Amino acid sequence: MDTNSIPGLTLSPSLDAKLNALDDNLQPIEKEELKSEDIPAEETVEENDTTEEVKEELEADESDETAEDTEEVDDKEDAEEPAEDNAYTIDEGDEEEDAEPAPTNSTQASPNQFTAEQQYILDNISPIRVRGEVDGKVNEYEVLAPDQLPQGFKFLDDRDMALATKSFAMLETKAEQLQNDYRNQASVKAGQEFKAREDAADRQDIGELQRSGDIPKFTTPANDPKFDQDPGVQLVQEILDFKESQNQKYMDEYNAGRPYKHIGFEEAFRMFKQTQPAKANPAQVKEDAERKNVAKRTTGSKSNKDDTPRQRPVLRNSRDIDSFIENLDW
């Protein structure tokens, strides 16, 4: 209903609003019929634009706050991280190496059923040539020992027999020398392998003791000229020297008939700690001494106070009793 089309009729704003709520039949317009077309398009667009702008501003503010919070957390974490400690353990940075194959010893057989020792001898000697007759035929044979000659072998003459006998003796002597050389080399190799394994075990023990705090960590770089003056290095060296002397003592006892015994670094450290506690842990010794001094002073003052005999008053008459009561501390 368009009331503005009636000539000469002017309505107040409130009345105009009421009439706009009525249809052409002067009936109230239901709320469902009030749609977006009743609202000016410009206002709707501005409202939407304003909503999107506010939303973008809020998202920007949230991003800034998140970034600031992240920076604050990072700064806090950086502040909480402890400063790097220059102390290090002896095995710090060691990498696990592939296990080396087990060394070959003289009891292992090669594919041709020779031991490593026998194969070493065979590889370093040459067979001798022997001429003789077998079943009426003269042949020359290359052998390492007389038992390798064929059945029915006969020397051509005594001279050939003497030369062959001399060559067999020389070959046997050379085989014995090769056997001794092999065993000496095997002994040296076994000693080197044992030393390498013992050094690796000592290094591991030292690292574990340093991590547990029983031995101070190293603070001087290994390439520093003053590395040997590092207190931790000096203590480790003293324990190693103690370990070597103990093992030498056990070896002498073993050679004298006692059972074999050998200790590692950790066991040597325990023994060294018992025999020389001041060197093994000077801080603990100082703490124990201070504790003993405190206990001694406390015990001495207490005993002096308690052991001092109290003089008992002598009350001979009523006057002494009255005087005693007057002097009491109430």
Q: Is residue 205 part of a domain?
A: yes
Find the domain containing 111 and state its range: 105-210
The answer to whether residue 280 sits within a structural domain is yes
Sequence-distant (≥ 6) Cβ neighbours of residue 86 within 8 angstroms: 219
Residues 219 and 239 in one domain: yes
pLDDT tens, 133-191? 998 899 999 999 999 999 999 999 999 999 999 999 999 999 999 999 999 999 999 99
Q: Are residues 175 and 225 in the same domain?
A: no
36 CB contacts (<8 Å, ≥6 apart)? 44
Same domain, 197 and 112: yes
**Given this model, what pLDDT does residue 175 score?**
94
Same domain, 199 and 230: no
- The answer to whether 266 and 205 are in contact (CB under 8 A) is yes
pLDDT in tens, 243-265: 999 999 999 999 999 999 999 99
Q: For residues 1 and 313, give the distance between their C-alpha atoms in angstroms, rounded to a whole number.
A: 126
Q: Are residues 223 and 273 in the same domain?
A: yes
N- to C-terminal Cα separation, the chain:
111
H or E stretch at 75: helix 41-80
Q: How many domains does the chain divide into? A: 2
| In-domain check, residue 77 | no
pLDDT tens profile 266-282: 999 999 998 887 665 55
- For residue 22, pLDDT beyond 60: yes
